[in-house]
Each structure stands twice: as structure tokens, then as C-alpha cells.
Amino acid sequence: MNAFDSLTGALAALLILPGGLALMLIGLIYEWANRKLIARLQNRLGPRWFQPLADVIKLLAKQSIVPAAAHPTLFALLPMIALASVLTSALALPMLGLAPAYAFPGDLIVTVCLLSLLTLCLSLAGFGTDSSFGLVGAMRALMQLFSYEAPFLLALLGPAAAAGSWQIDVIMRYAEANPWMLFTQPLGFFVAVVGLMAKLEMAPFDAPEAHTEIVSGPLTEYGGRHLALFRLSKDTALVIGLTLVAGLYLGGIADPLTFLVKTLALLVLITGVQALFARLRIDQSTTLWWRYVMILLLVQWLVMMVSRG
Amino acid sequence: MNTLNLPERWRDAVETVKRWSRINSPWALHFNSGSCNGCDIELLATLTPRFDLERLGVKLQASPRQADILICTGPVTRLARERLLRVYEQMPSPKYVIALGACAVSGGVFQGCYNVVGRVDAVLPVDVYVPGCPPRPEAIIDGMVKLLAQLQAGEKEKPG
């Protein structure tokens, strides 16, 4: 294979499959699955299968308005940074069950940090548009980030400690060879799932964009193509988060079939929880994370340390 | 508007895709410009699981920046006129307006009141009128579908 072929191959892998385009399309399909399932649980018919795609195309084709109070460059740049960081975080993961594109020791930490960059961009968007709803939403998003980030990371470090590596690829191979860590570290699994829901700002943790209180939170002033990019990055983050948690706790992801089965099973679980619970106030969710979930995690780590000797 | 110098066939294809997405994802914004709340309750009833507008792709948005269709209830009062205009101008085009209920269509029983400007189309260009006092959810869905059918037929092409 000459240099040109390997370059086009790498570009195709990055832009089309399994990176970029394929990732966003899967994100849209997973968003539909999520919305449809919620609709069925609420006894509704729910959206048609192409609904998220139509939403995104419509938003891309709309006029884009930059508020007079917002910094025009920052306003346009934040959604791009959000989407870019989320897409980059897929590099170290076995997306679609294929081998990770770029694995290196310690990529677990980098992946989680890149996913947090989405929340950071969202809250900066809220701060930057000089809207009081955006300001309140951004404060709530950051508050929630400080509550769930540490427990979520600790929950993902449980499998890492068991496998003795901070490289996602190595942890997943360990997970395939050993009993599912869902059973050996049940408390860690619980925290990872709830942490994923908080990261994606799903129902019990959707205080940052509470529609009934603060319009759309940080995205109040966003419309058109900028909003489309934020939606795409949220959908992609959904797929990536599902892959991460399913791969670590549900016995690794070896091929496309296990990818589909495990991530969809996790999505069904998350959607059920989402439909079941009402929104937590921001102080309630902070209390939940630091008073209860953190204790659970410490118990989990204590058990792990004692059992290892 | 067309900055790209595309061949005619490609431009048509892009327009078709745009129109398809617009018809299949109409996000609505609800504004009460002086209604007695009757129409508002019926509009909320339309969004309940029994009628479920999400199967048409309709989502109720809270921010005008994210909305495509402004659903306006009630006659426009002198105080609400300025707000209504501001909300309408915050929406990115292409945007459409539905006048919901007898008062929005004609001024209804509030016609000629000292504090009322008049019906909605005295202030904004209205695309669909849904009469009734208040209109039933079926009538609201019918109005929505009629607007989407107009979009499909290309009758409502606006610059933007």
C-alpha cells in the first residue's frame, strides 16, 4: 500500500466510517430510539424514524441570528468546538465494534475530559449570550458538572483498576475475558449509568435546560445551524457514553453485533429511568451525588481493595 | 441568497431536501396576545398524549429563536402588540403564523374595545386561520396539517 492509499484510508476512517458521518447518523438514530421509547411509555405514538434527521436539516437550513449582545466569533465557535471534542473522544473507543482508531495509555481520562468539554461549551454559550435564562442554565450546568464529574470518573476507574490499565482498549479486552463487571462491581455500574444520564442532561438531571422554568437554559439564544451543531454533538455524546459504559461494565465490545445489542440494551435501561423520574432540583441533585452516590462508590472501592488484599 | 453557483438540477435537489425537512419538523411557539385562556387550554390539550403532535414532528419550543411556527391566541391588545412583534422578529426565517381562535381571526367579542388593536393579521402576516371559540384539538391539528400542505405545494416560499 503506498502513502496515498493509506492517507485516503485514514481520512475515510476519520470522516465517514467509523468516525464523523457514521457516528452522527448513529447518534440521530439513537436519539429517535430514545424519543420513540419515551413516547410509547407515555402512551403516545411518538416521532417517525427520520425525525431527528429532519430536525437537524431544518435547523441547518434556517436563517442564523447572532444576538447583538453576544460575541459573534465565540457564538459561532462554541458549537463547533463542542462537536469537534465529542467526535475526537470517539477515537479511543471501539465504535461500531471496530478496533479503536487511536489508542494510547491513559485515553480513558482523555475521553471523559473531552466529553466534559461539551458541557463546558454549553455553559459558556449560556454565559456568552447575555440572556438571564442562559445565565441561570449555565450556572446549573456547571453546578451539576461539579457534582457528577468526580463520581462518574471514579465509577469508570473501577474497571480500570480491575484491569490494571487506563487504556480503554486494554480494559475492554480484560472485560471480555473475565466475568461482566456489572456483577463484580454492581455499585460502580449503577453510578456509571446514573452519571451518564447526568452527563447527557437526561430527565432527572435536566435542570440546566428546564423548559418549564428557564426557556431552554444555555441554548435560549441559539437557533439555526448553531443549535443544529449542539444537537448533533449531544446525540454523538449519547452514543459515545453508551459505548463507554457498555464496553467497560457489560463485558467489552468485540464486534458490530455486540455493539448494537449492548448499547441498545443500555439505552432502553436509561430511557426507562428517564421516563420514570421527575426533574430534580439543582440542590437535590448535588445532594444526591455528594451525600449518597459518593458513599456508594467509596464502599465499592473499599470492597475492591479488601478483596484484592 | 444563493451564494453557491450550483447547476439548476442540484439547486432544485437542495431545495427539495430543505422543503422536506421544513415540513417534517415544524417547531411551534405559543404566544398569548390577550386571549381569555380558552384557546390556550385547547392548545395544551392538543399536545397531550391523546392527540400527540410529535408524530407530525411538532415540538413546543419555549424560545422564539428555535421556533418555526408562531401560534397566536386572542386579539392583540395595545400592550401585547409590541411584545408580539418582538417575539416574531426574534424568530429566524422561514417562519409562519397561525391565528388560533375567533378572537385571533376577527377580534371576536373584544372587537372595538378601547384596549385592543384588533385581530392578529392587523399586526403580523398570518398563514393559517383556525376559527372556533375555542377551536377543538382536531381543528388545531387540521390547521397545522393545512399549513404543512401549503408548504408542500410550495405556496409559502419566502425569502430566507
Is B1 part of any domain?
A: no
Nearest chain A residue to B29 by CA distance is A215
B65 contacts in chain A (CB < 8 Å): 65, 220-224, 227
**Confidence at residue A1, expressed as pLDDT on a 0 to 100 scale:** 45
End-to-end Cα, chain B, rounded Å: 7
Is B45 part of any domain?
A: yes
B159/A contact by beta carbon, under 8 A: no
Which of A31, A50, A51, A58 to mutate to test binding with chain B, by most B CBs within 10 Å of its CB?
A58
Q: Which of B20, B54, B91 sits opposite A39 (nearest CB)?
A: B54
Nearest chain B residue to A46 by CA distance is B55
Element (H, E) at B130: strand B128-130
> Which cell is A294 given?
459518593
Give percent above pLDDT 90 in chain B: 33
Range of the domain at B74: 27-152
Confidence (pTM): 0.86
Element (H, E) at B32: strand B27-32
Is B135 part of any domain?
A: yes
Is B143 part of any domain?
A: yes
pLDDT at B160 over 50: no
DSSP assignment of A182-240, as one string? HHHSHHHHHHHHHHHHHHTT-GGG-GGG-HHHHTTGGGTT--HHHHHHHHHHHHHHHHH
> How far is the C-alpha of A191 from the C-alpha of A152, rounded, in Å?
7
> Which cell is B108 given?
371576536
pLDDT at A134 over 60: yes
- CATH number, domain with residue B57: 3.40.50.12280
Q: Which of A93-107, A138-152, A213-227, A251-265 has the lowest mean pLDDT?
A: A93-107
**Confidence at residue A81, expressed as pLDDT on a 0 to 100 scale:** 92
More confident site: A6 or A289: A289
| Mean pLDDT computed over A278-303 | 87
For B115, list phi and psi in degrees, rounded to 5: -100, 10
| Mean pLDDT computed over A265-286 | 89
pLDDT at A4 over 60: yes
Does the distance separating the beta carbons of A221 and B55 come in below 8 Å? no
Lay out the sheet containing B128-130: strands in order across: B59-60, B27-32, B69-73, B96-100, B128-130
A-B contacts (CB, under 8 Å):
87
Is B127 part of any domain?
A: yes
| AA identity, residue A138 | A
Cis peptide before A186 (omega within 30 of 0): no
Element (H, E) at B73: strand B69-73
**Confidence at residue B157, expressed as pLDDT on a 0 to 100 scale:** 59
> How far is the C-alpha of B128 from the C-alpha of A22, rounded, in Å?
39
For A30, A268, B23, the CA distances from A265, given in Å and listed in that order, are 12, 5, 32
Is B81 part of any domain?
A: yes
A35/B contact by beta carbon, under 8 A: yes
Does the distance separating the beta carbons of B62 and A216 come in below 8 Å? yes
For chain B, the domain total comes to 1
Is B6 part of any domain?
A: no
What is the rounded average pLDDT for all residues in chain A? Answer: 85
**Confidence at residue A33, expressed as pLDDT on a 0 to 100 scale:** 93
Report yes or no: A304 and A162 within 8 Å, Cβ to Cβ: yes
How near does any CA of chain B get to the CA of A61, in Å? Answer: 7
Is B34 part of any domain?
A: yes
